[in-house]
Amino acid sequence: DTGVSQDPRHKITKRGQNVTFRCDPISEHNRLYWYRQTLGQGPEFLTYFQNEAQLEKSRLLSDRFSAERPKGSFSTLEIQRTEQGDSAMYLCASSLGPPLGGPSDTQYFGPGTRLTVL
């Protein structure tokens, strides 16, 4: 079990550019989540997948944000036309889901991708 991995770990971009982040969940986990964390704050939910289906999206996920999980394994989060307000840590988490994961459906987090928009 290698844990949740994210790539890249750091991304610096200029305002207006597009960026894409990748998340590889724990191998047997069927649920995958994206969160955004700004400095000194707790993570905020962005979106959630069960297998390849995107089941929930936050109001925080503007039209410039899109997430995919095409084969129910890894996921990508794309931000188009980045703005300085997009600067944050983007966290990915995965969980096994019930029944195998138990009712608590505990989420396990990756190391995050830190985005800086200049």
Positions touching other proteins (CB under 8 A) are: 31, 33, 35, 40-45, 48, 55-56, 58, 91, 93, 95, 98, 103-112
Q: Which is nearer to other proteins, 21 or 82 (CB)?
A: 21
How near is the Cβ of 51 to other proteins at its closest, in Å?
13
Residue with Cβ nearer other proteins (85 or 99)? 99
- Comparison of 78 and 105: residue with beta carbon closer to other proteins: 105
Q: Which residues pair with 21 in a beta bridge?
A: 77
Q: Min. distance of Cβ 75 from other proteins in angstroms?
A: 15
In the complex, minimum distance from the CB of residue 52 to other proteins, in angstroms, rounded to a whole number: 16
